[in-house]
Structure 1
Amino acid sequence: MTIDKAMPVPPLDPSAAEPYYRQIYDRLRNAMASGLLKPGDRIPAARALAKELGLARGTVEVAYSLLAAEGYTEARGQAGTIVTPGLRLRMPVVRPASMPDAGASAVSFRPDSILPFQMGLPALDAFPRKIWARLGARCIRAMQPADMTHPPVYGSPMLRAEIAAYLQVSRGISCTPSQVFVTSGYRHSMELIGLTLLKAGDRVWLENPGYPPTRELLRRMQIDAVAVPVDGEGMVVAEGLRLAPKARAAVVTPAHQSPLCVSLSLPRRAALLDWATRNKAWIVEDDYDGEYRYASRPLPALKSLDRDGRVLYAGTFSKVLFPSIRLAYLVVPPAQVERFEDVIHAFAGGSPELTQSIVTAFIAEGHFARHIQRMRRLYAERRDATKAGLESALGRRVRIDPQPGGMHLVLRLQGRQSDRRLVARMRQEGLYAEALADWGMDGGSGKERKSGPAILLNFTNVETQAMAEKLGRRIARLL
């Protein structure tokens, strides 16, 4: 690969753990820090750099979008893109290759890009931005000095009341506003649970495969994660009883198991609740996208079956609104409200009052319920279109799991394919995917991987079958 000496992007490393867009980002940022690129200097056009490096233009544009979002570059129209005037950077400290960070991962479960099939993103093109802007402008005009002080650490009283009312109607959860705590996301909710109800050395059941950030969070709190396998009926409770009968808690995704999308069966729900009651253990119900079920009406929440105050319900606005809103909520049993209030006083700073006011108005005026209904119809259509398009392009090379709901598809790779290797190739080509191997607690090579390699693809932003088929042909070339 030949690059002119004046180019600020040296040759890329195809064997590196970082995808190409990240390597381009790092090299340009280092060129700025070292003085090779100075404030006001023009950086190469995305088209020219893509041609020079032999990459898809979209890969370069992702790197450029990151630089612009973080303030390193500015677009000047026909004059091109320049290094931000006045930018001051220090040369980054390079860590020796012989000392890798054991806690680092090549896979990000909270990416800041927008790529085809990107997990965790709702249909951003279908969000009612005009309504949101109107409500935002109204809330800003109505702002009073009292609204500009520190926000309530438990959450806005009006938003807590709206969430409680919504959960009663949509998820069958009977709770008071005092049981609802507004957080900055699922990880914040889990952190509060750990600080309030758990301690170092406790054992917690986790679904295997399951959402990787949960086990990373528990690891950092020195809590022992117990890998409990998942089958067609969800978490195998009998295995949890065999592996760790005295565990202090279980974290489950009953509506759509993350990532396999199966639902926790009613007998398993009853067995899980019985175990928690008998052992005074806790169940954390992560209901990240329970609204999106296409085979029938959304299932009642596990929390709605809780008669002994053992279930904590974690919900989020990231999947039903948009991720950057950074708002979620946690419903705790009545007997635990005071304990959570004490911990939140010590550790939480509260979420922005303006954002909470907009969400409150969005719910109170009926926009939230209508939006979810529209998205449920839209996602059902896009799921079918994406499935049909991928099957047409990929044929017998993959098998797509049937599933009742959720926001992503599970593609089982046929033959001796590596899901991690395919994901790495897709990232280099500007396509997003996650390898099922990265969701398993055994590292993806043990007996828990009997079902074989698979990749996870989000379908919410794939608009048509033709678009899915076109993207599928790109995957086929990588296979």
Structure 2
Amino acid sequence: MIDTTLSDSAGVSLLSSPLARGPGALPRQRQLIQRLKQAILAGRLPAGGRLPSSRALSEELEISRNTVLIAYEQLTAEGYVIADRQGTRVAPLSAAARSAARHAAPADDRPPATARRLARIVSARQAQDGSLPMTPGTPALTQFPLNAWRRAQDRALQAAPAAALGYGDPAGEPALREAIAQYLRVSRGVHCDASRIVITEGAQGALALCVQLLTNPGDTAWLEDPGYRGAKSAFHGGDLNVVAMRVDADGIVIPESAWTSQPPRLIQTTPSHQYPTGAVLSLTRRLDLLERARRAGAWIIEDDYDSEFRHQGEPIAAMQGLLPDAPVLYVGTFSKTMFPALRLGFLVLPQAIADRAMPSIIEMQRGGHRLEQLTMAAFIENGQFSRHLGRMRRLYRERQAALREALATHLGIEHEVLGGHCGLHLTVRLAPAYSDVDIVAQARKLGMHPAALSSFALNPREEDNGLVIGYGNTGAERFPALVRRLHEVAAGQKAG
């Protein structure tokens, strides 16, 4: 038997028991490490006890001495044993540590303790499959000019110095910020320069940054209802008091009393194409909202997520550009105009906030995705972005017209198409007899992916019953058959 100070029978037995061998067995080195760790934590190898020499233990277990040496080195590195001139000894552990290891309770079904705010951030949707027809918010990915994008990537990679592989400007690559500023001034009428732009992880990152910069827990934020679920998650993630503001055919409706009874710190709105109803915020309401927000010391978040796709008439200018020094933080994204996986968004700060907050932003963020940003900048500057938008406008105009015609011809149940001629989706309001949640569940089984309008509402009402139908990822020729299938689902539901 091995000559060791571990004279108790449990310790001797532990060290002399053979290791498992054969198919399916763990490597012997890992087996030995696990065996010793468990024995030390359980107290079967007492503190201060000297372990056998590597040579003696290798002979006893009939394994390589190197295997024992490596195991001892790992245990020493992790603090289980101490190696000195007298050999390898078990490290002393506190009584609390030994008790915790010895009496560890088995796993139970209780959920782990998490921040209370997580209870408010609950998804009302299933995981999206953007490949299914009628998915809202998904662009025509098969029509994206991948070859042009690859060429722009190659040029950006060749031109970029080795330093571009490190952290970049926390506010984003200067080339992309300048390209975005020029584009927004011309196409959206936004008052900005590159120094006021921050590149973010999509629009969601921009919304979260607005919350970080401008609010404290418990502040009040107004949210369109029904509205963008990502904004609700960002507000709840900041422990804000979220107040729903209803939307009608002219956009967000703010009762006069709300300015005094529930004064906001943030107001989220999608004025150019309300999500998901498609309403356009009227000029009267825009100007009134700007003036009232200024007087109340509130900030407006203008989410301009898909305004580039205006299918009828001239583009609607951004609300941010209506007044000098408007109290507006302008949020944009390339997820709809390019592709969602790009995860590039941007935030245009008012000058006063940019002057004060940019030093903090530089400390809060780390520059990344530099090659993607440089590629996007080149894509804008060489005209590829504008050409791509022109092609997509024509395509989406055709697809929206086909969806409208299919709804009028084949849906066959009482409904109302909401919103204007813009974006990547249409919203269809249904009579209460047709449950949007049930229709969506059945439609998904049949390979379609519309969304339930009621799932976008904080406080659903009867008029929030309907379908949000995407046409960005669905060919025009498919809509007659798809809408007929929706009719069958709805008719079967009512008959049932």
Query: 218-227 vs 234-243, which deviates more?
Result: 234-243
CA deviation after TM superposition for structure 1 residue 273, in Å: 0.5
- The amino acid across from 2:328 in the alignment is V
* 1:171 and 2:188 correspond: yes
Mapping of 1:32-431 within 5 angstroms?
Answer: 102=119, 103-108=121-126, 111=128, 113-238=130-255, 241=258, 244=261, 246-401=263-418, 403-414=420-431, 416-431=433-448
Distance 2:357 2:182 in 1: 21
Residue-by-residue CA offset, 1:197-254 (whole Å, 9 max, x unaligned): 1111111111111112211221121101111111111011335745745211211000
CA deviation after TM superposition for structure 1 residue 478, in Å: 1.8
CA deviation after TM superposition for structure 1 residue 353, in Å: 0.7
Distance 1:332 1:104 in 2: 29
Q: Which runs of 4+ in 1 moved over 4 A?
A: 93-97, 242-245
Distance 1:406 1:220 in 2: 28
Distance 1:240 1:404 in 2: 33
- The amino acid across from 1:277 in the alignment is R
RMSD (Å), alpha carbons: 2.3
Contact 1:203–1:244 (8 Å) recurs in 2: no
SS in 1 for 2:427: strand
Distance 2:485 2:353 in 1: 51
Residue-by-residue CA offset, 1:351-376 (whole Å, 9 max, x unaligned): 31110111011100111112112211
**Greater Rg by CA:** 2
Contact 1:122–1:322 (8 Å) recurs in 2: yes
CA deviation after TM superposition for structure 1 residue 140, in Å: 2.1
Distance 2:394 2:419 in 1: 18
Residue-by-residue CA offset, 1:57-92 (whole Å, 9 max, x unaligned): xxxxxxxxxxxxxxxxxxxxxxxxxxxxxxxxxxxx
Q: Which runs of 5+ in 2 are unaligned?
A: 1-23, 25-106, 491-496
| Distance verdict in 2 for CA 1:95–1:259, change over 3 Å | farther
* 1:476 and 2:487 correspond: yes
- The amino acid across from 1:207 in the alignment is E
Distance 1:477 1:239 in 2: 44
Q: Give the count of matched residue pairs.
A: 380
TM-score normalised to structure 1 length? 0.75
Contact 1:228–1:240 (8 Å) recurs in 2: no
> Structure 1 residue aligned with 2:472, among 438, 460, 469?
460
CA deviation after TM superposition for structure 1 residue 142, in Å: 2.5
SS in 2 for 1:238: coil
| Distance verdict in 2 for CA 1:106–1:156, change over 3 Å | same
SS in 1 for 2:412: helix
Contact 1:418–1:453 (8 Å) recurs in 2: yes
Q: Which residue of 1 aligns with 2:70?
A: none
TM-score normalised to structure 2 length? 0.72
CA deviation after TM superposition for structure 1 residue 473, in Å: 2.3
CA deviation after TM superposition for structure 1 residue 459, in Å: 0.6
Distance 1:329 1:132 in 2: 20
Query: 195-204 vs 142-151, which deviates more?
Result: 142-151
SS in 2 for 1:130: helix
Identity of aligned residues (%): 36
Distance 2:128 2:334 in 1: 17
CA deviation after TM superposition for structure 1 residue 154, in Å: 0.5
Distance 1:94 1:119 in 2: 39
